[in-house]
Amino acid sequence: MVADAFVQYVSDLYDGKFWTDSPIAIVPGTMIKSNINASSLQGQIMAEDLSNAVDDISQLITFEIQGSDLLKYVIERSDLLK
């Protein structure tokens, strides 16, 4: 959900030919400090709820990367293959 919110934020700012220039977001687990209980909120999650669940964000960084390079990076750092 946090990554989706970041993608939405960047796509709202984007003024190009397509819907966005940043269709994915990578969020380090250390950035998330608490859960959001969507059940208790009856599915109505607000920006404040999201803001309370993550550490303070001073900037979002966008960059270009090839899918093959991203996959290689993820696999090299994945515990799933060990």
Q: What is the pLDDT confidence band of residue 82, given thresholds at 50, 70 and 90?
A: low
Q: What is the pLDDT confidence band of residue 66, given thresholds at 50, 70 and 90?
A: very high
Q: What is the DSSP letter of 56?
A: -
Question: Considering the chain, what percentage of its residues have pLDDT values greater than 90?
Answer: 5
pLDDT in tens, 1-40: 788 888 888 899 888 898 888 888 888 778 888 888 777 7
Confidence (pTM): 0.63
- Residue 78 scores a pLDDT above 60: yes
- What are the b/e assignments for 11-47, b being 16+ CB within 10 Å? eeeeeeeeeeebeebeeeeeeeeeebeeeeeeeeeee
